[in-house]
Structure 1
């Protein structure tokens, strides 16, 4: 007896099996796609949760590296003073040997003018520079982004001068050429600190533009660009190294109280 290979539907039994198998494969592919989408969704959710934490960790790492830079600045300045009978550097002429040079576009562009990079052009260097030379401590890791955003906003910026930071730390001008032994409370007077690249009155009438932070003269103040929210660059902090060698986190309202023994009375905001 011969059994027909065809069912009433016109499909072979073998063909029917193939159809069912293909259907199962399609289901398997469908489940795999759904699983992939679920995995992608989970990864996206984890990234959304983790990215703020990673960004905060990155900012904190740069903040700590900046503290280390300023700690080194303080140590080098103490070495300089020790070699100079206790006299501290001149805030204007110890890094660069002159306040102005006849061939530079403007001295306020010196901090970002590649032609005045002392590593490449040591002929412009002042007496303090040899203590710092080659130490790779002149620029805070967080400052590059700030320079890109605000570097051309400082007073007397010369169009065409590239913004490529050579340094971003400035010295308390009140200490210029004074002896360390003249001061009793070393933990209350800052040595070097950081400034903003923009003006926010009444806190400062100049932005960062040279190696001297003239808080006592009421021109400059501490900056606010560390750990600040992107939407509000005025709510952050900066670092400063003090005469006792300690590096502190400071706010711009701290500028006057830490600038000199009588600095607190100079504050334009009543602090």
Structure 2
């Protein structure tokens, strides 16, 4: 009887071990439509950061754009100056200022220097070089096509007799800096944050927030004291 028990026990041990599965709870899947988004605080924080960046960037971009426009305006003045000098070289040193003839044939300074500035003929003015005559910051150019005026006190004067600091061209509300409506105070137009630009007889730029009258600074406008 004892022998039989040992034999049966050995047979029991030789049987393969049984593995009983253990049920592990599986977390329920979250429905796709219930995903958590930004909290209100996170959303307000992002909006606040965007607002701060906009407050910093927008003025900087505006300032850079205004500087670029002012630089382009200065370049226009220098190109007009160069064209006027080339015209003078072909006309016994006389600048393109002849008020007596303007009333007769209409050849004002912007047409007289047109071919020297790159245009084909005064008849086709302003043609392809129209941007040269307009300041990019000018909201209302004269007749829609001209932002600069010439100092007509240089009429019939030779370059050799002019002082270097005398203004030749300036931003203006008229094609003339002085006319029958403004005989003492120049018609300067301040297109750059209350500042205006001009080019002198020596080719240098003059930038100011206040352009004086003839009485205030005669040497700035008149060829001789």
Q: Shared topology, TM-score over 0.5? A: yes
Q: How many residues align?
A: 183
TM-score of the pair, normalised by structure 1: 0.57
> Given the superposition, is the C-alpha separation of residues 237 and 262 from structure 1 closer, same or farther in structure 2, using an over 3 Å criterion?
farther
C-alpha distance in 2 between matches for 1:76 and 1:168: 16
Match of 2:114 among 115, 120, 129: 129
Q: What runs of 5+ residues in structure 2 fail to find an aligned partner?
A: 1-24, 120-127
Match of 2:144 among 165, 172, 196: 165
Q: What runs of 5+ residues in structure 1 fail to find an aligned partner?
A: 1-12, 102-106, 108-121, 152-162, 196-207, 228-235, 264-271
Residues 222 and 254 in structure 1, CA contact (< 8 A), matched pair in contact too: no
Larger RCO (alpha carbons 8 Å, 6+ apart) = 1
Is 1:46–2:47 an aligned residue pair?
no
C-alpha distance in 2 between matches for 1:225 and 1:177: 30
Deviation at 1:214, TM superposition (A): 1.2
User: Where does 1:17-166 land on structure 2 (aligned, <5 Å)?
Assistant: 17-18=28-29, 21=30, 25-26=34-35, 28-31=36-39, 34-90=41-97, 92=99, 98-99=102-103, 126-132=111-117, 133=119, 134-135=128-129, 136-143=131-138, 145=139, 147=140, 165-166=144-145
C-alpha distance in 2 between matches for 1:49 and 1:85: 55
Match of 1:251 among 209, 218, 225: 209
> Given the superposition, is the C-alpha separation of residues 226 and 255 from structure 1 closer, same or farther in structure 2, using an over 3 Å criterion?
farther
- Deviation per CA, 1:20-72: give whole Å up to 9, x if none: x46xx55x3243x6544432321121111221121111111100100000000
Deviation at 1:90, TM superposition (A): 1.6
Aligned equivalent of 1:241:
199
C-alpha distance in 1 between matches for 2:78 and 2:213: 18
Aligned equivalent of 1:260:
222
Deviation at 1:238, TM superposition (A): 0.8
C-alpha distance in 2 between matches for 1:49 and 1:171: 40
What RMSD over aligned residues (CA atoms) do the two structures have, in Å?
3.3
Deviation at 1:164, TM superposition (A): 6.1
TM-score of the pair, normalised by structure 2: 0.68
Higher Rg: 2
